[in-house]
Amino acid sequence: MTRDVTLYHRDPRYIPRVAAVHDMCGYGKCSLTAAIPILSAAGCDVCPVPTALFSAHTRYGVFTMHDTTDILDGYLDAWKQENVDLDGVYSGFLGSAAQVAIIKRLYRDYPRALRLVDPVMGDGGELYATYTDDLCRAMGELVDGADVLMPNMTEASILIGRDYPGQNLERRQVDDVLDALLSLGARNVVLKGIDRGDGKLRNYVASASTGVDGACELVHDKLPYMTHGTGDAYASALCGAIMAGRTLAESARIAGEFVRHAMTHTVDQPHHEERGVSFELDLADLTGLVDR
């Protein structure tokens, strides 16, 4: 039997602070350029921790990358000296395997903060251009204790050490993947992007407290095109809804519809195939999540 969970009980007068541990792209819709506006629209104070600086995202043929690993300990030291507090740590794209230690430090420094992990490593069965096997192995260290783990099937396959099976999975196969992720220590899992070729996209929500028998299936209409950056927009909206006090399954539903709405506006924008999902016209979907 499905039982939904509420991970954050929001005081509508309070603005929660969320560290967004992501890269920053000067061009292209992803990572911090998605997390900052989307979480802000959901009523969060976003505190960026930039893991790398890119001229453009890695789907472009030409881009520059600056790894920020060496500055991050000093960056967080300064936060501690100023008594910065956090309600959530939302991590995504990392610039190096060593940055996993930075996220673990955030967990130690802010033990009450929710651990929201988008294990950004690849999609469609392929790794992103800057990811190595060492970095993927290090990313797996964030699974144990994650309050919410948000992989697509490529990332889930890497985390559980299996070959990528594609996106057309039957329910029993989905449950097997969810069970394997929960067995690694994730408290809750949102598995994204199951596509059975029937014009629908399915996401699944499972909690360690109920196991896969209590997993929830969320079905969204699939548009006849795809675009870059939807995973980051989805994860950011999911985290924003959670921090707005919505239940996990409701947050996943809100995030799925937010991305679908954004994609309908994306096709009207120039160079959208490369630039990515344009969500600006749909931020109002998130601004009403918190009663004021």
Q: Assess if residue 161 is contained within a domain.
A: yes
Q: Give CA–CA dist 90/46, Å, rounded.
A: 10
Q: 23, 50 in Cβ contact below 8 A? A: yes
Tell me how many domains the chain contains: 1
234: containing domain: 17-276
Rounded mean pLDDT for each run of 10 residues along the chain, 292 residues in total: 82 96 92 96 97 89 93 97 97 91 97 97 88 91 97 96 96 97 98 95 96 94 88 97 97 97 93 89 93 64
Amino acid 90: pLDDT: 98
Q: Assess if residue 292 is contained within a domain.
A: no
Strand positions, DSSP E, 43-112: 45-54, 65-67, 88-91
Q: Assess if residue 64 is contained within a domain.
A: yes
CB contact burial 70-97 (16+ within 10 A = b; e otherwise): eebeeebeebeeeeeebbbbbbbbbbbb
Q: Assess if residue 95 is contained within a domain.
A: yes
Amino acid 3: pLDDT: 66
> Which one, of 101, 190, 182, 195, lies nearest residue 150 by Cα?
190
Amino acid 292: pLDDT: 59
Q: 22, 31 in Cβ contact below 8 A? A: yes
* pTM for this prediction: 0.95
Q: Give CA–CA dist 278/258, Å, rounded.
A: 11
CATH of the domain at 86: 3.40.1190.20
Q: Assess if residue 7 is contained within a domain.
A: no
Q: Assess if residue 57 is contained within a domain.
A: yes
Amino acid 1: pLDDT: 45
Q: Assess if residue 8 is contained within a domain.
A: no
Q: Assess if residue 290 is contained within a domain.
A: no
